[in-house]
Amino acid sequence: MLLKELSQTIESALNKQVEMEAASSQYYLAMASWAEVQGYNGIAQFLYRHSDEERVHMLKLLKFINERGGHGLVPALQQPTVKFKNIHAIFEHVYSHELLVSKEINNLVDICLSEKDYSTHNFMQWYVTEQIEEERMARNILDKLKLIGEDKGGLYIFDRDLSTLDTGDKH
């Protein structure tokens, strides 16, 4: 048995982030399924990849908790929204959700500093950097969608191009 290296406060906060990452994965999975049913196969591929990445983020946290002597908990999840107004609305959701995740990660980093848990603080810097990239990507996608407006040809090209967009996550 490993010695307890995480405070209960840090362990609880990390497990809360595990739940956030798992819920994010489900959220993007629901968006991907909706997009695929609507005929946006490129957008669906992008969102499926994004869902997978969020699951990897969750696993990375879970393993860290366990390696530090805590117990990473697999969360129960609520079913996410399964219907969306349109592609613009989906990416507005993506952007606002990524802002929320960033806020939660920053809160977790603040807890690490107040608890003087510099090892966990160091580990969390990967997530801080990742969130900067996630927000940038979502903002860039929204900018492109604003340029396209409701132009069907533009949406067709956007859908095609998004299928090959690198989400930037190298785990």
For 70, the 3-state DSSP assignment is coil
User: What is the distance between the alpha carbons of residues 17 and 152, in angstroms, rounded to a whole number?
Assistant: 38
Tokens standing for residue 31: 């968006």
- Mapped to the 3 state alphabet, what secondary structure does 72-98 carry? CCCCCCCCCCCCCCCHHHHHHHHHHHH
Cα→Cα distances 105→9, 81, 102, 131, 133, Å? 15, 23, 5, 8, 14
Neighbours of 58 (CB within 10 A): 22
71 is in an annotated binding site: no
125 is in an annotated binding site: no
Residue from 42, 17, 29, 41 nearest 110 by CA: 17
130 is in an annotated binding site: no
User: What is the distance between the alpha carbons of residues 133 and 44, in angstroms, rounded to a whole number?
Assistant: 20
38 is in an annotated binding site: no
57 is in an annotated binding site: yes
Residues of the binding site = 21, 54, 57, 98, 131
Binding site for Fe cation, residues?
A: 21, 54, 57, 98, 131
